[in-house]
A and B are shown apart, each in its own frame.
Chain A
């Protein structure tokens, strides 16, 4: 009897201890932010990502279950730059959690400290399409920005959970080293294609192109968020040919028919690159996402 009691007690203690091991409940709006949070937090954090890697992060369904997830969160990491403006605010309102309310100690805007591209200058209005006044929010496809976000998260985790600061700092070092090692490999793979001209479907790959030295000469979309008309596409194709575009880059959830029509008409390959972790089978974490994208591009340009 006593023995059984001891077994039960140690089992209970064991589970209590393992539950205690993750001291921070972290919610990331997208799985790429979630992946970096896992790398930095290790076993000291429990990470939940709201959006799935395959979906359009601008139009995530505001499932009621998210309110409950946010209700329990110690930290909420958002991409910022209006990425989640269409679905996150009412969920946070209903979460009734002071920690993750705007300005709360657990609220992290991952775009802080990142030099955002495409910040519109001059007069801007909605006739120009869905222009993000704060800049282009797809900054994580530049691994240098991944590093900035990782540093930011390590600093933030240490602030809300000082007891594990050493762990976060150590994990940051490991993450940076892994990224640096890969960065050499990546520049080796893409060295030969510096300055290659590409056309993308949406302005999702500006940072990727910026980092790896590609020149984005245009989009298949006529304006941000506006699907192209056949007339527009037919006017685009000769321009792309003239500019000697080498590659068409498209997110996996865009119209394959339109993308392939454009690519075939220009006579160049098309690659489907996920923009989030989990966007394809290979992109299981942040470094693998960039790795998968780099390899796809290198293979297509060979």
Chain B
């Protein structure tokens, strides 16, 4: 093959033995030009003919739809109001519940979907708010409305698409509250495989943080994400740039910049935690130090920076692997004394899915998903003798020092804490097995723990507020694990019923058992399944 090509090249590089005459060449050229014109004409005719065919096809379809519409209108008793006609065949088509709800003014469309999630159950624990630390976990005996989530999405124009998620829920006191979970716009096609998203969005960190609770495989949030990324997930206003690498396999790089303050920036400059949920609620200040670092945004350093790299391989035709590493870096609320204290969260995730080539309705399948995280939380130094009188505070004036402050039993003086770095770890691993159409069995293992810090080894005590004393115990960093088997039935893809058991083991609290039954329904547009 190569020698043939080479031979051709050689032949071309040598002038022919008998050079043709000028007339011959001119004639040849004329012939070729004539040939070329003919070809061009032929192609032009063919294109025209094909275009006509396409046009006819489209027209015939329009005629069919019009005929169908005419028939439908004849058979419908209700009179049609011509004033409502927009002239747009899509909008003029009578709406049916299987259609996405479309709200239109001019050429703007929007898909609307509602997902309602309800749980019922109970637990041996009496502190359910601390046991179920996810913001939308079932958190009381009896019934919990975990949320009614409204999703609005659609193309904004030729450059952007928009998305908003608004969540309605009822807290333990029966108060309805509303959360703006997400509201962002995203570029449709920037050059260079880039994409920009801006607005309020769930930080691209690992797997579970970007998923809305209704698409989780378990009733509640994994402990590690609820503890490190917040009871409701890490989300804040900001902007994210992503790049789809031109590699043969899938590789995507993300770089996010978000505000680092506010109640949904748990672990960063969150000033007291999210208003509902458990551990995360007053999970800051960490480790018996005040959090009052509300210094606003002065520079780049005051923002939350979140890089992520995700890559995926198809191991076989039936097995897909997705790997990712994520980071979240930003200032935290602990440096009350003017110190620039920072938090660094690192994460690694792995998702493996098997789905056979002859599946029906997506079943059977096996999916394994795991995420491990490490958090390094820098604390500022802190003197518990805030008013410098050498005594512990007694604001309620009952003669006993208030709870939640530390002192040194050796000297009897309020404790002085040095700045230090607290390291915490955690992971969850979950396995889902769709063993027959509509049925999924799941098993999840949760584990969170923290390195022992110097404030824990100094022998400090904490008053209980009534004259007694406790040792230093930080339940927001204590070791804890949980095992959760569950079974889910999807009557259709628009509803599900899930039964879950949680075996909890918390340091200093002991073992608890909980059982939850969850119901979910989808109305209107149902977002497509992502990997």
Contacts and interface: CB of A to CB of B under 8 A. Distances in A.
B97 A126 contact: yes
B244 A71 contact: yes
B96 A87 contact: no
B108 to A, nearest CB: 14
The contact size tier of chain A is: 35 or more
A89 interface: yes
B54 A71 contact: no
Nearest to B437: A227
A96 B194 contact: yes
Given A3-B6, A89-B528, A156 B98 contact: no
A61 B356 CA distance: 10
B50 interface: yes
Which of A14, A54, A96, A227 counts the most B-chain CB atoms under 10 A from its CB?
A96
Contacts, number: 187
A230 interface: no
A166 interface: yes
Interface stretch (B39-47, B275-283, B371-379, B507-515): B39-47
Contacts of B97: 124-126
B81 interface: no
Given A94-B244, A126-B98, A113 B58 contact: yes
A121 B76 CA distance: 10
A64 B51 contact: no
A13 B1 CA distance: 13
Contact of A87 (B43, B58, B190, B528): B528
A112 B65 CA distance: 11
B358 A55 contact: yes
A182 interface: no
Contact of B361 (A94, A159, A225): A225
Interface stretch (A146-154, A191-199, A238-246): A146-154
A96 B357 contact: no
Given A6-B6, A10-B5, A56-B360, A158 B528 contact: no
Nearest to B351: A64
A85 B528 contact: yes
Interface stretch (A97-105, A260-268, A281-289, A290-298): A97-105
A50 B207 CA distance: 24
A119 B94 CA distance: 13
Interface of B: 2, 5-6, 8-10, 39, 42-43, 46-47, 49-51, 53-54, 57-58, 60-61, 64, 68, 71-72, 75, 96-99, 155, 161, 186-190, 193-195, 244, 247-250, 252, 310, 312-314, 317, 320, 322, 353, 355, 357-362, 437-438, 492-494, 527-531
Given A10-B6, A93-B161, A96-B187, 13 more contacts: A55-B358, A62-B530, A64-B531, A65-B313, A67-B244, A90-B527, A130-B493, A148-B57, A165-B50, A166-B39, A166-B43, A225-B361, A253-B359
| 4 nearest A-B pairs in the assembled complex, by CB-CB distance | A113-B57, A59-B362, A64-B312, A98-B189
9 contacts: A56-B360, A61-B362, A67-B244, A71-B193, A96-B193, A96-B244, A101-B189, A133-B98, A165-B47
Interface of A: 3, 6-7, 9-11, 13-14, 52, 54-56, 58-59, 61-65, 67-68, 71, 85-90, 93-98, 101-102, 112-115, 119-126, 129-133, 148, 151-152, 154-156, 158-159, 162, 165-166, 168-169, 225-227, 251-255
